[in-house]
């Protein structure tokens, strides 16, 4: 696919998706959401890709939210179609069987923050700001924000952030559990994300994929059901060639050579 609103670049086992509408602070319009969908599918099908990083171009915003100029004139049918597109794209990000890291520099607002929350790990620069301004416009977060935010920060804090539209600093977001790591400078961001990716790539890919599935599915159910999911995932992991290689390498005191089988 020819991408017009983002860049998809691959370097070894890492794919970097860069939202590329800096002239509008990477505002998310329908074509960009469609391209995110196709880029994630591309990364899913490419067996060499082991970790995906999503970031934003321009140095001002990861993504500033939905493109309000387009939303203003949507009718109900168009809004529903847009919501289906957005939620579908974010579900693909969340359920991709490879880890996805959000590398945030600047504003991650509304749909941009929802995109970040759908990723597995979030790293941001110290100057970054996160928030959900939708109620200022008579709207609510409609791309998973009301659901994913509460699972990270708790129901009470999620209600506060959404009801007030407060935009919070990267440090506060980290304290709340919205961010995994904060780096000081813009030039530190992608190296930090790639260092995290390389650390993950060194592990068993089947094990990482199964762990992600168990965590995601277990988060949406009760403890006993989650433990059952974990048991099944662990049994599958135990039956892989990677498990044999990992345990053998440990005994032989060498680095394992995982093949994702």
- Which position among 134, 172, 175, 187 bears the catalytic label? 134
Mark whether 134 is an active-site residue. Answer: yes
- Cα angle 259, 38, 124; round to 5: 75
Interatomic CA distance for residues 134 and 122, integer angstroms: 22
Residue 53 · residue 17 · CB < 8 Å = yes
Sheet holding 14-19, edge to edge: 6-11, 14-19, 51-56, 100-104, 121-125, 181-183
Residue 211 · residue 230 · CB < 8 Å = no
Interatomic CA distance for residues 181 and 109, integer angstroms: 18
Structure tokens at 230: 């974990």
- Which position among 2, 81, 83, 114 bears the catalytic label? 114
Helices (H), the chain: 30-45, 68-71, 76-95, 111-118, 145-153, 155-164, 170-176, 186-201, 205-219, 223-238, 241-252
Active-site residue numbers?
A: 114, 134
């Amino acid at each position: 696919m020819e991408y017009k609103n983002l860049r998809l670049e691959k370097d070894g086992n890492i794919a970097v998706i860069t939202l590329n509408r800096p002239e509008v602070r990477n505002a998310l319009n329908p074509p960009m959401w469609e391209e995110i969908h196709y880029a994630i599918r591309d990364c899913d099908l490419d067996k060499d890709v082991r970790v995906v990083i999503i970031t934003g171009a321009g140095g001002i915003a990861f993504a500033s939210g939905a493109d309000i100029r387009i939303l203003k004139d949507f009718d109900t049918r168009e809004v529903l179609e847009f919501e289906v597109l957005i939620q579908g794209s974010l579900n693909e990000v969340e359920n991709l069987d490879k880890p996805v890291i959000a590398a945030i520099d600047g504003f991650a607002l509304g749909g941009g923050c929802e995109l970040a929350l759908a990723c597995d790990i979030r790293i941001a620069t110290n100057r970054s700001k996160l928030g959900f301004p939708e109620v200022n416009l008579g709207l609510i977060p409609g791309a998973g924000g009301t659901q994913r935010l509460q699972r990270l920060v708790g129901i009470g804090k999620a209600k506060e952030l959404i009801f007030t539209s407060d935009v919070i600093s990267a440090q506060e977001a980290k304290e709340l559990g919205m961010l995994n790591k904060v780096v000081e400078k813009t030039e530190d961001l992608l190296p930090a994300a790639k260092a995290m990716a390389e650390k993950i790539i060194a592990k068993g890919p089947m094990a990482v994929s199964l762990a992600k599935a168990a965590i995601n599915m277990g988060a949406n159910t009760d403890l006993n059901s989650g433990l059952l999911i974990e048991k099944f995932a662990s049994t599958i992991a135990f039956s892989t060639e990677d498990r044999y290689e990992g345990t053998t390498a440990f005994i032989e005191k060498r680095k394992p050579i995982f093949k994702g089988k």
